[in-house]
Amino acid sequence: MKNMVYIQSGGPTSVINSSFYGAIQEAKRHSGEIDKIYGSLHGIEGLIYDDLIDISAEDDDQLALLLQTPGSILGTTRRKLPKDIHDPVYGEIIDNLVKHEIKYVFVNGGNDSMDTCYKISLLVKERGLDIVVVGVPKTIDNDLAITDHSLGFPSAAKYVINTFQALANDASCFMKGKVHIVEVMGRNAGWLTAAPDLLPEGNRPHLFYLPENKFDLDQFCKDVKEVYEREGYALVSVSEGVEFERLQASTRLDGFGHAQLGGAAADLCKIIEDKFDLPTRAVELSLMQRACPAYISKVDSDEAVRVGNEAVKAALAGKTGNMVILKRVSDKPYEIKYELAPLDSIANEVSQIPQDMMCDKTKMSQKFRDYLAPLIVGEAPVKYENGIALTPKLKRIKVK
């Protein structure tokens, strides 16, 4: 009898805990093969510093609340492991895996985290250990390679879409309104920035600026002014990843070595104000787009649980070094199948919006809409107590 450990890594999503729940659920169905279910605190740090908690000791009703709780319940990290898998830090990881009799390792993350996952899979192979390593995909940016989409993206898209509609309702109220520049997450891929293209006419953004296209600041200013003059207000969707000479450069890097983004909308508003003396409002959808329980897509939630299930099944079948992927069978009716893909084909790759999904800066193509529309369908139920969404109260018993 061997134990399993589950790792949440990188930026949280609205359904990252749903995949964890799915893995717990499936592990409990195989209690003859999997003994203890451990959670590694703060991503891989828990395995480096021997900081695990025993999930087997948690109550089922509290665990069920994971389905409505965005944010990584185990904590997360952006620590990038050294390239050389003979670096001493890997020794710590192996020691802890062996010490805790762990046979099954699950890493739930995006591009950078799949790199962590891949390295661990190489390491245990090299050491000849009987340890299976399986990746679980997530990232709101939807930029993971090979999988049809990433878990967490549909709920973030649903948040962005419904929030743009709310902003349109508000922004269009005034006879002479403002230029609203709304900054959406997605460093390298514009999936979320483009998502509000699904909105009905009248509630849509007027303009979209995706990181896939070269950003021309002068043209942007012209476009915005033209819309404002025509409509009396403007609603513009801008990716945090568009590149222009920033008024105030950020030099801060995260653990994975990426510059911290944000503030693009504020800078663009300042530029528009200075240039045309138009009233502006910068809106950053910020952490809300990945952390709002009220807009969890039912499709996303269900798929996240299912991928957690599939990861455990793959591990029990000994399929190490793979990530669970979603493969689309059809758009209408929407149908997905679950497969495995080798981690080295995914780690550090970036999937952007293909050209045939884009039309111009005012709209996306039908292909994009057919792709996205089924992902946001259905509302995951949320339990409230006195108007506040319930969150799990865990015992968090440390593994000795």
Residue 286 within binding range of a second copy, rule CB under 8 A: yes
β-bridge mates for residue 52, sequence order: 40
Residue whose token pair is 């104000």: 273
Could you tell me whether strands 234-239 and 102-109 are parallel, antiparallel, or unpaired per DSSP bridges?
A: unpaired
Contact pick of 3, 12, 123, 306 for a second copy (by CB under 8 A)? 12
Q: Which of residues 47 and 145 has its CB atom nearest to a second copy in the complex?
A: 47
Question: Would you give the DSSP letter of residue 301?
Answer: H
Contact pick of 199, 217, 221, 359 for a second copy (by CB under 8 A)? 199
What three-state secondary structure class fits 341? strand
Contact pick of 36, 103, 138, 158 for a second copy (by CB under 8 A)? 158
Buried b / exposed e along 147-179 (16+ C-beta atoms within 10 A):
bbbbbbbbbbbbbbbbbbbebbeebeeeeebbb
Contact pick of 76, 139, 150, 239 for a second copy (by CB under 8 A)? 76
Contact pick of 28, 33, 35, 45 for a second copy (by CB under 8 A)? 45
Contact pick of 39, 137, 293, 308 for a second copy (by CB under 8 A)? 293
364: left (phi over 0), alpha (psi -120 to 50) or beta: beta
C-alpha span between 35 and 57 (Å, rounded): 12
CB of 68 to a second copy, least distance (A): 11
Q: Which of residues 199 and 359 has its CB atom nearest to a second copy in the complex?
A: 199
CB of 233 to a second copy, least distance (A): 11
What three-state secondary structure class fits 322? strand
Taking Cα atoms as reference points, which of 262, 319, 37, 21 lies closest to residue 151? 21
Site string for a second copy, 360-399 (x = CB under 8 A): -------------x--xxxx----x-xxxx-x--------
Question: What does each C-alpha distance from 137 to 15, 98, 232 come to in angstroms?
Answer: 11, 25, 42
C-alpha span between 33 and 25 (Å, rounded): 14
Which entry of 141, 143, 197, 300 is annotated as an active-site residue? 141
Residue 322 within binding range of a second copy, rule CB under 8 A: no
Phi, psi of 237 (to 5 degrees): -100, 120
Site string for a second copy, 247-266 (x = CB under 8 A): -x---x-------x-xx--x
C-alpha span between 331 and 374 (Å, rounded): 7
- 22: tokens are 């799915």
- 247: tokens are 């008024």
Q: Which of residues 29 and 393 has its CB atom nearest to a second copy in the complex?
A: 393
Active-site residue flag, 302: no
- Per CB under 8 A, the segment of 71-79, 117-125, 214-222, 236-244 that binds a second copy is 71-79
Contact pick of 32, 60, 88, 175 for a second copy (by CB under 8 A)? 175
H or E segment at 99? helix 88-99
- Per CB under 8 A, the segment of 129-137, 292-300, 305-313, 314-322 that binds a second copy is 292-300
CB of 386 to a second copy, least distance (A): 6
Residue 239 within binding range of a second copy, rule CB under 8 A: no
CB of 377 to a second copy, least distance (A): 5
Q: How many residues bind a second copy (CB under 8 A)?
A: 65
Classify residue 381 by burial, with Cβ atoms within 10 Å: 0-12, 13-18, 19+: exposed
Q: Which of residues 94 and 382 has its CB atom nearest to a second copy in the complex?
A: 382
Rounded to 5°, the CA angle 134-307-316 comes to: 45
| Site of interaction with a second copy (CB under 8 A) | 12, 42, 45, 69-72, 75-78, 158, 161-163, 165-175, 180, 198-200, 203, 248, 252, 260, 262-263, 266, 270, 273, 279, 281-284, 286-288, 290-295, 297, 373, 376-379, 384, 386-389, 391
Catalytic residue ranges: 141
